[in-house]
Structure formats: structure tokens, C-alpha cells
């Protein structure tokens, strides 16, 4: 197969040429976007190690527009901290218009087979200790071994009380059941560095 314009003139950002793809959200933050002739503008971007690798060994980023933000927010909540560890699918929507022309563009949806976390789980701002994650699993009818296995399948090799680990634990619990998990005191003392 020959080159496409997107491959010939690589960007640091995902484009239609990079889709479809499925990715785990690692980080959401701001990035200055734009060319030298158009000036730079601050945009929200999603980082994922599942995105294509660039020559400098970093990964492309996905510029998040309002429509795609709403799609993710509807599934994972309004706070981007709750998106960390969650799966998204990026695909080409040929009906997207720009400048009065149908040009197509990248849209986001939740991949089929991904269980969206129930809305009654504690928010990630309430960082869970390992004990709290285990108590939430048990309250949802999940054994600690099942929780560990699900976290391992998500790429974790241990648990340290962080927002990302809490989001992963919540996702693991949601993947294993749709029953509500227990609510915990956000001021509890964390158990850090629990390997499994």
C-alpha cells in the first residue's frame, strides 16, 4: 500500500488515517495546538499508550472536541479523572462537515463489550486504599482473587492508592458486576504498595 497524506506528513495528533482504533485513556490535559503560520491554541487532548508511536518514541494525542467530550462524559462522568483507565473507540464518521463541506472526521464511542461503571460508585476524587477496593469488590459480590485477576488483565501489577488505581479498581468492579459497590470515607488511611 502506498502513502497517504496523513502518513507522509505525520502529525503529533490522531487523524482519520489512524482510525479505527481502541484505546485506554491514560491522561487528559491541555496542549498547545497549531502551526507556525496559524498560531497556537490551547486544546484538550487525550493521551494513550495505545495510540500510534511517533519517531521520538512518544505517542500521538487525540484532540478532544465538544461532541466527543460529551460522548465520553455520558459514559464515564463529567470529571476527566474518572476517565483514566477507561476504554474508548475512535472511528471515522464520514458525515462530519467542516467549512460547509462533508470532510469526515474522528468520533468517539464506548467499545462494544465494555461495561460502563455504575454511576453510584464513589468518585475517583475519593482515592481508594487497597482495603477499600477489596471491600467494594466484596460488597458487589466479587472475590478479591477475581478483583486481582481483572486488574492484572488491565495491565496492573500492583495497587498503590492513586486516582488512576482507584479508577482501575472501579472499572474492574464494573466489568465483573452491575451491582452497586459500597461507599467509603474519603479520609481513610491508604494501604500503599499492595502487590498481586
Which of 4-13, 42-51, 116-125 tops mean pLDDT? 42-51
Between 194 and 16, whose confidence is greater?
A: 16
pLDDT tens by residue, 39-60: 889 999 999 999 999 988 999 9
Q: Residue 140: how many CB atoms within 10 A of its CB?
A: 19
What the block records as the C-alpha cell of 63 is 484532540
DSSP state of 64: -
The CA–CA distances, whole Å, from 72 to 25, 45, 62, 90, 193 equal 11, 13, 13, 11, 30
Q: What mean pLDDT is reported for the chain?
A: 82
pLDDT at 29 over 50: yes
pLDDT tens by residue, 141-193: 889 999 999 898 888 888 888 877 888 888 888 888 743 333 444 444 445 55
State phi, psi for 36 to the nearest 5 degrees: -65, -35
Residue percentage of the chain with pLDDT more than 90: 41
pLDDT at 36 over 60: yes
pLDDT at 79 over 90: no
pLDDT tens by residue, 95-114: 999 899 999 999 999 998 87
Beta carbons of 128 and 147 less than 8 angstroms apart: no
Angle (deg, nearest 10), helices 144-153 and 130-139 = 110
SS3 173: helix
SS3 90: strand
Residue 68 CB burial class (10 angstroms; 0-12, 13-18, ≥19): buried
Extract the runs of DSSP E, i.e. beta strands, from the chain.
Answer: 21-24, 27-33, 41-47, 61-63, 87-93, 97-98, 101-102, 105-109, 158-159, 194-195
158-159 and 194-195 strand pairing = antiparallel
Between 162 and 86, whose confidence is greater?
A: 86
Domain regions of the chain by residue span: 5-109, 115-184
What is the C-alpha to C-alpha distance for residues 22 and 62, in angstroms, rounded to an integer? Answer: 12
The alpha helices in 15-76, defined as continuous H runs, are 66-76
SS3 165: helix
According to DSSP, the residues that pair with 61 across neighbouring strands are 13, 47
Mean pLDDT of 77-90: 90
Amino acid at each position: 500500500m502506498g502513502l497517504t497524506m496523513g502518513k507522509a506528513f505525520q502529525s503529533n495528533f490522531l487523524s482519520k488515517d489512524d482510525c479505527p482504533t481502541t484505546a485506554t485513556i491514560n491522561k487528559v490535559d491541555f496542549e498547545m495546538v497549531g502551526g507556525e503560520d496559524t498560531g497556537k491554541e490551547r486544546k484538550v487532548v487525550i493521551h494513550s499508550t495505545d495510540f500510534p508511536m511517533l519517531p521520538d518514541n512518544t505517542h500521538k494525542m487525540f484532540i478532544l472536541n465538544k461532541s466527543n467530550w460529551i460522548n465520553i462524559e455520558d459514559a464515564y462522568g463529567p470529571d476527566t479523572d474518572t476517565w483514566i483507565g477507561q476504554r474508548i473507540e475512535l472511528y471515522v464518521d464520514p458525515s462530519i462537515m467542516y467549512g460547509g463541506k462533508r470532510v469526515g472526521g474522528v468520533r468517539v464511542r464506548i467499545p462494544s463489550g465494555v461495561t460502563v461503571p455504575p454511576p453510584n460508585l464513589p468518585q475517583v476524587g475519593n482515592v481508594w486504599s487497597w482495603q477499600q477496593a477489596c471491600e467494594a469488590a466484596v460488597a458487589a459480590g466479587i472475590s478479591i482473587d477475581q478483583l486481582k485477576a481483572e486488574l492484572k488483565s488491565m495491565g496492573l501489577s500492583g495497587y498503590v492508592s492513586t486516582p488512576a488505581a482507584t479508577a482501575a479498581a472501579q472499572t474492574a468492579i464494573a466489568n465483573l458486576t452491575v451491582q452497586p459497590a459500597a461507599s467509603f470515607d474519603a479520609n481513610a488511611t491508604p494501604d500503599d504498595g499492595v502487590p498481586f
